[in-house]
Structure 1
Amino acid sequence: MLLAGSLLPLAHLAGPPASTAPTAPPSQTAPAGTLDSAFARAAATYEVPRDLLVTLGYAETHLDGHGGAPSASGGYGVMHLVSSPAGRTLERAATLTRQPVAALKADDAANIVGGAAVLRAYADELGLDATARKDPGKWYQAVAKYGNASTPEVSRLYADTVYELLAKGVQAVTTGGEAVTTTARTVQLDRGGYGTARDLGTLAAAAVDYPSARWVAARSSNYAVSKRPSSNVIDRIVVHVTQGSYAGTISWFQNPASQVSSHYVVRSSDGAVTQMVREKDRAWHAGNYNSRSVGIEHEGFVDNASWFTDSMYRASAALTRSIADRYGIPKDRAHIVGHNQVPGATHTDPGPKWDWTRYMQLVNGGGNPNTPQSVCGKGYTLVDSAALGSAGTVYLLYNTANDNNCVATMKNSSLGKATATTAYLEVQGQRRVTHSGNVTHYAGPVRGYALDKCVKWGGKAGSFSYNSPFEYCIST
């Protein structure tokens, strides 16, 4: 919906007042001037667990500051410091760090310091002492507050997303080509009052229009109640990119100040689909096309292709195919359009990074209709994948609720035809479990309890195979 730094040496950045957080020595593990060093210095100064700080930034922006341009909900920089009716973390960061708002918006290092300062301030309000601050799980409520969500349920969704990424580990490459990583780990979560909030990750509604979707209602002032298709024909599907995070977009559509909404939001990491407006009603997403279209928002930013994952493409294509079939909409680019194609539109999404050729092939049944998440089941999120030539892809997933891994091999060719395909999982110290046979679309799921254990995983499709070493040694 909108678009979005130069590195500023941290040596001259103002640190926190002594009453807010102690000053810690800088990390010597990363070269000065890198994004990695910025995270290390900010984490040390404000006594925020470094990996948690990186993971939060990755969840918000994939560590891309977008040159100081704001997100759709008014967030700036790597740490998505917000200046909008949804929150004022940007201004609070300026007060805490004594840095100009302009620097916090456009300079990556300053922005990371600001994010760490705000997160530490929330921890102080919770009463976390020095011992508690060393435990990433104790920061859960501070992370939930950082998301500026409109409801406790969305705050929980936001925090759960961050901790799911922490459990998988971050393997990020910045727009400048720098690798920033974290170690995969699970922690004991102290959700506090958020523990009683509804878990939107598993919430479904009997009345959703698309059976695979979860239901989270947009604010009633952000869309128009209607009686489509009897009142208006539905003959278009509009593809959007959120210019923000999944949880942030859901929260923004619940904020009365936004005056925008979409029928669906699709998550990058696993293709999870949330419906926010009934298809019969007119979501406010595409100007002149509001009355005739269904809108689908995709988590991410138009200038960063890392958000457009295989899981997202497949889940969105299945949703689009369902909508098109139910309303008789032709599955072509004249009727399935980008926001930028809507007459009178000033938006550029989904942008040049969106692979329309691949997407339309999937919409028209040119790909596997299943996803690793649909095969493994609810609660599983993607950890890693390996291509099996052009024949398929093997996926490793993890469920933080029950500490189970799952492996599935998805075919990419000979779909519908039974061909030899294999998926296996070997938990350290246990026998390897394999699913192998002539299958039409996938092998698996193969699941195993893997807390405090490393795993080997892999599979085969056609003449191609993949076999991992022992890795992903998840521990509490």
Structure 2
Amino acid sequence: MSHTLARRLAVAGGAGLLAVALATPLPAQAQPSDQQRQQDFANAAKEFGVPVGVLLGVSYLESRWDYNAGTPSTAAGYGPMHLTDLRTAGVVTNEFAGDTEDPRGDDARPALRPKVTQPAAPPPSLQTVDEAAALLHTDAATVRSDPAQNIRGGAALLAEYQRELGVRSEDAKEWYGAVAKYSGSDDVAAARTFADEVYDTIKTGVARTTDDGQAVKLAPASDVTPDTKQADALGLRADAPPATECPKTVACESVPAPYQELPDGDYGNHDIANRPQSQKIDTIVIHDTEGYWADALTLAQDPTYLAWHYTVRSQDGLIAQHVPTKDVGWHAGNWYVNAKSIGVEHEGFAAQGTWYTEAMYRSSAKLVGYLAKRYGVPLDRAHIIGHDNVPGTTPATIAGMHWDPGPYWDWSHYFDLLGAPIKATGRPGSSMVTVAPKFAANRPVFTGCDKIGSGNACAARGSEAVVLHTAPDASSPLLSDVGLHGTGASTMDVSDVGSRVATGQQYAVAGHQGGWTAIWYLGQKGWLPSSTVVPATGLVATPKPGKATIPVYGRAFPEASAYPANVTVQALAPMPYTLAAGQKYAVGGIVPSEYYSATTFDVADHVVVRGKMKYVEVQFGHRVEYLNLDDVVLKPAF
């Protein structure tokens, strides 16, 4: 008998019970096809002696019970129980390696070039599929690909963790320690946060239909009060709470980025500032790391490179703060955006790993909601943006801008967690719409998830992105993006945002035909199914009478006369797009013209240049852009 089997025998209390624990799943009873996953949870819970509410709660916090087309999460997790296998998931790199985007995005300083780093070894906690497979006497591929076996594997792991703690009980409140260990956390605060979220879910209950059409329900159990002291027996790190800018409801640690002087007058890896007294923080930028947690933290601590404000870990939602929010991180590739934003990185991959854990979504939403309230940042898609929505600074930088967190980040669910659901705000026939596809049912077939530009189809799965066409016909070509492709059409490559809109973004309506709606996009009419948008209200910007075209800008810099003699004037640099008379674009807000001059290590030399010009932020394409307020008329959309 193997050591694992011997341990299982001890907890089962006899060979007879052990045989039950290692048996194949219970025979399926006659039931509706959409109830199979509910039955799989019930069978696995009974087989391994795990309270079914605990099993459902853990799975919900990992995957929301979804199958995700058998693809790995951004933390190498598979199936409803998020069993992890690093051998088959994302390629380890970092978000800024191998491309041309200058994350600082400031013409007044030398470009910060991409840096190739040697990735750290992934932690053992991200390799749970093998232990689960051993407990089930099967192979890793089966546990990854078969939802029922995946659920059995998760139940087996929870039972094993419970046995290791020496707790014998079928009461859900006695499983807190096992749930905390399932998080994979290496510190007790993060493990507790994960377990607390699971038990909050158990108390409130939840019901939903999964991405593959399974109806699953966790009935509320408001009387379940777990024994939280069990987490102390896990032997995890118990560091003193660090000084961070995080809400109390998340696990947050300080991993500070160094502000350090370097040779040849250079310095890194962020800029000292005094926000919001010096400049208003009006944007929060959502990123993904394109690598694992350890590598992201190593990069943020490199004094010769770059840093952002926060990183969120996938497996348990642990947050690390690197840069104080008063200071300016180098993360968005656009200095105007950097100077007025907070950057939040999320462990994972925009393409090779295609879904984000519920633990990460919840922790991130709590952080972003806290920051938005603290700094008065509106909870909308003009101010809570992806890195893929940040504009290039000049025509030359457009093609190198990033596209994370990618088309598989669920903006609709994220805004639900923020308490600002994306929904209709206008009447039918409104001249403005909000993009709002049904995530699970919206399955555009992108290419290149294995390797950008490969042309190989990605797995068909839910997406927040809707593709635009040149005519009200799904077989018509995609739009062109002159900044990305010149006169060529955009593609379905997962990284190509030239003819793509995102959930929550708002656009001015340009027409209707059949079941299609046209919107103004990059100076063109882009067509999308009317079922993917809802009516909205707000302001639209259009050129003033008499102006045939007006310039579009990627940053809201001041007029030349606003700069003091000791600060180099920053060119306004119009973008290569055309905004012609008659076209309209949804307004995200009116913003001041500002330039934060920070080119030396000595903070005393830093100065905010403010101009008389004002700009209008508009949703011009997939990315936001800026218009001179003097060039436009603002009109209400009903």
Pairwise CA distance, 1:312: 8.9
Mapping 1:65-464, distance limit 5 Å: 65-84=67-86, 85-86=122-123, 87=125, 88-129=127-168, 132=169, 134-185=170-221, 186-194=223-231, 208-209=244-245, 216-220=252-256, 226-229=270-273, 237-240=283-286, 255=294, 259=298, 263=309, 276-277=321-322, 278-280=324-326, 292=339, 293-296=341-344, 316=368, 319-320=371-372, 322-323=374-375, 337-342=385-390, 343-349=400-406, 353-354=410-411
Distance of 1:18 and 1:124 partners within structure 2? 13
Pairwise CA distance, 1:171: 1.4
Per the normalisation by structure 1, the TM-score is 0.52
Distance of 1:44 and 1:331 partners within structure 2? 43
Distance of 2:213 and 2:71 partners within structure 1? 20
CA shift in 2, pair 1:233/1:299, >3 Å: same
Distance of 1:46 and 1:18 partners within structure 2? 9
Distance of 1:209 and 1:156 partners within structure 2? 19
Pairwise CA distance, 1:66: 1.4
CA shift in 2, pair 1:31/1:42, >3 Å: farther
- Are the counterparts in 2 of residues 140 and 159 from structure 1 also a CA contact under 8 Å? yes
Deviation string 1:93-115 (CA, Å, 9 cap, x unpaired) is 12222333233223322211111
- Are the counterparts in 2 of residues 225 and 282 from structure 1 also a CA contact under 8 Å? no
Distance of 1:48 and 1:165 partners within structure 2? 16
Q: Which residue of 1 aligns with 2:517?
A: none
Distance of 1:211 and 1:348 partners within structure 2? 23
CA shift in 2, pair 1:220/1:155, >3 Å: same
Distance of 1:136 and 1:222 partners within structure 2? 45
- Return 186-195 or 107-116, whichever deviates more: 186-195
- Are the counterparts in 1 of residues 207 and 215 from structure 2 also a CA contact under 8 Å? yes
Pairwise CA distance, 1:354: 2.4
Per the normalisation by structure 2, the TM-score is 0.40
The amino acid of 2:389's aligned partner reads: Q
Deviation string 1:420-449 (CA, Å, 9 cap, x unpaired) is xxxxxxxxxxxxxxxxxxxxxxxxxxxxxx
Distance of 1:222 and 1:96 partners within structure 2? 45
Distance of 2:401 and 2:197 partners within structure 1? 36
The amino acid of 2:224's aligned partner reads: V
- Are the counterparts in 2 of residues 214 and 274 from structure 1 also a CA contact under 8 Å? yes
- Are the counterparts in 2 of residues 227 and 281 from structure 1 also a CA contact under 8 Å? yes
Q: Which residue of 2 aligns with 1:39?
A: 41
The higher radius of gyration belongs to 2
Pairwise CA distance, 1:161: 1.0
The amino acid of 2:228's aligned partner reads: R
CA shift in 2, pair 1:104/1:288, >3 Å: farther
CA shift in 2, pair 1:136/1:285, >3 Å: farther
Deviation string 1:298-351 (CA, Å, 9 cap, x unpaired) is 8999879999999998984673364477xxxx9997775312234532424475
The amino acid of 1:279's aligned partner reads: T
Deviation string 1:73-124 (CA, Å, 9 cap, x unpaired) is 2222211112352412112112222333233223322211111111111122
Distance of 2:408 and 2:216 partners within structure 1? 26
Distance of 1:265 and 1:75 partners within structure 2? 19
Distance of 1:313 and 1:151 partners within structure 2? 21
Identical residues among aligned pairs (%) = 30
Give the aligned CA root-mean-square deviation in angstroms. 5.4
Q: Which residue of 1 aligns with 2:21?
A: 21
CA shift in 2, pair 1:218/1:336, >3 Å: same
The amino acid of 1:44's aligned partner reads: K
Distance of 1:83 and 1:305 partners within structure 2? 15
CA shift in 2, pair 1:239/1:105, >3 Å: farther
Deviation string 1:191-233 (CA, Å, 9 cap, x unpaired) is 3452599xxxxx998x655788867125458998644337999
- Are the counterparts in 1 of residues 74 and 355 from structure 2 also a CA contact under 8 Å? no
CA shift in 2, pair 1:65/1:333, >3 Å: closer
What is the aligned residue count? Answer: 323
SS in 2 for 1:217: strand
CA shift in 2, pair 1:93/1:346, >3 Å: farther
Deviation string 1:371-395 (CA, Å, 9 cap, x unpaired) is xxxxxxxxxxxxxxxxxxxxxxxxx
The amino acid of 1:123's aligned partner reads: Q
SS in 2 for 1:180: strand
Deviation string 1:104-146 (CA, Å, 9 cap, x unpaired) is 22332221111111111112212234xx1x1112211111111
The amino acid of 1:58's aligned partner reads: Y
